[in-house]
Amino acid sequence: MEVLILIGSFILLLIIRIPIALCLIISSLVAGLYMGFDPAAILQRMVGGLNSFSLLAIPFFILAGEIMNEGGISNRLINLANVIIGKVRGGLAMVNVLASTFFGGISGSSLADTSSLGSVLIPMMKKQGYDSDYSVSVTISSSTQGVMIPPSHNMIIYSTAAGGVSVGALFMGGLGPGLLLGIGIMILTYMMAVKRKYPKGEPVKKEEIPKIVRDGLLGLFTIVIIMGGILSGLFTATESAAIGTLYAFVITFFVYKEIPFARMGIILQRTFKTLSMVLFLIGASSSFGWLLALLKVPALVSEGLLSISPNDAITILMILIVLLLLGMVMDMAPLILIATPILLPVATSVGMDPVHFGVVLILALGIGLITPPVGSVLFVGSAIGRIPIEKASKGMLPFYAVMIVVLLLVAYIPSVSMYLPGLFE
């Protein structure tokens, strides 16, 4: 009955469109009161869930992404990608994918990627003769690299939910799958461009190339600072995030000089808004997760999934199906916090390393961000491209196929995500 009240009240509140964080808190309080707990104990669990040093990296990563995005890094990365790959047939689509690879390593957010790069590239692609649904599909599918390629604050959220899995190992574990995803989407965009006879990109003037490369690499060096600091052992993830943010601040306001310093107030305002939502979710999910563990829900789910088939491959497939279905109806951050304590024991029981499972989890939920009916990135891309959700979803079908293939490769071939972390053990 306690499990029914906890899960049932949460689902009911979701159906009537209560914000997810409030759903978690209210259902925890209702179940806790039924079980005889003092409401203060539930609230103390919320506060305790935020008492983690690794969470300090999240505000720095968000702030660094906001600074670089506001300071014009998106246009510079588009120009850099254009120099590298823009001259082939369908070059602008491939520039879109490569720019998302670069930008994802700075913002760590699919939504930020789609909003900033998409607002430039989708109208540009449509103007050059690309179909609108194709332009939106390329933009939003490639944006999912943002949650995989380090630094990703979603990896930090998973690390917290999983009980302290190494953030550095997760960052390195996400790099290979993120690049594999980008390559897969790029191959598809080229094949579709050839079939539909989309135009070739215009060559860049030779005298402009040095400046374009310099400006692009200066922005990308933020990733080098963060990852280099973590992997070398010089800094913790939090310290690297702080230093990376300082570097982003200097590059944006003293090198690029595209925006006045007065814009810093707006940047901080957006950062605090995003951060408050993330931390509120983490706190709310802590009390919910505590009750789940107390009621032995993870053990029940584990036994249920393992009883379906003794075959580990089938169990992994069941995990993937559950994650993809959940990703269709809920956003990424709360799902990481809810699904991790439930599914991680199942994954480890079939031989998946916690880092490997974390990468699979993030990738599967990243696909959910662009999947109807609740995919937030799908909605943003459709709004920028000015096309209905139905048309965007139909145009996404070949891209969904590529992403599912990449997900299966990452899930069933551990070395795709575990090779790089193994080198730095």
Count other Cβ atoms within 10 Å, centred on residue 27: 25
Per the CB < 8 A criterion, the answer to whether 343 and 319 are in contact is yes
Helix, coil or strand: residue 89: strand
Q: Give pLDDT, residue 180.
A: 94
What is the number of structural domains in the chain? 1
Helix axes 312-327, 297-308, angle to 10 degrees: 120
**In angstroms, rounded to a whole number, what is the distance separating the alpha carbons of residues 43 and 283?**
9
pLDDT of residue 425: 63
Mean pLDDT over each residue of the chain, to the nearest integer: 85
User: How far apart are the C-alpha atoms of 341 and 320, rounded to whole Å?
Assistant: 15
The tokens for 312 are 């580990």
DSSP assigned state of 236: -
pLDDT value of residue 353 = 94
331 secondary structure, DSSP code? -
* 79-117 residue pLDDT tens: 888 888 877 888 888 888 888 888 877 767 787 778 878
Give the tokens for residue 166.
């190494």
- What's the whole-number mean pLDDT along residues 145-170? 86
CA dist., res. 253 & res. 13, Å (int): 45
Q: In terms of residue numbers, what domain contains 61?
A: 1-423
131 Cβ neighbours under 8 A, 6+ residues apart: 196, 395
pLDDT for the residue 416 = 93
Closest CA to 330 of 369, 383, 287: 369
pLDDT > 70: percent of the chain:
98
Q: Would you say 106 and 147 are in contact if contact means Cβ atoms under 8 Å apart?
A: no
Q: How confident is the model at residue 125 (pLDDT cuts 50, 70, 90)?
A: confident
User: Over the stretch 274-329, which tens digit does the pLDDT of each residue have?
Assistant: 888 888 888 888 888 788 878 877 777 777 777 777 888 999 999 999 888 888 87
Residues 364 and 327 sit within 8 Å (Cβ to Cβ)? yes
The pLDDT confidence band at residue 36, using thresholds 50, 70 and 90, is: confident
Percent of the chain at pLDDT > 90 equals 20
Q: What is the average per-residue pLDDT within 386-413? A: 92
Q: What predicted TM-score, i.e. pTM, was given to this entire model?
A: 0.84
- Which pLDDT score, from 0 to 100, does residue 121 have? 84
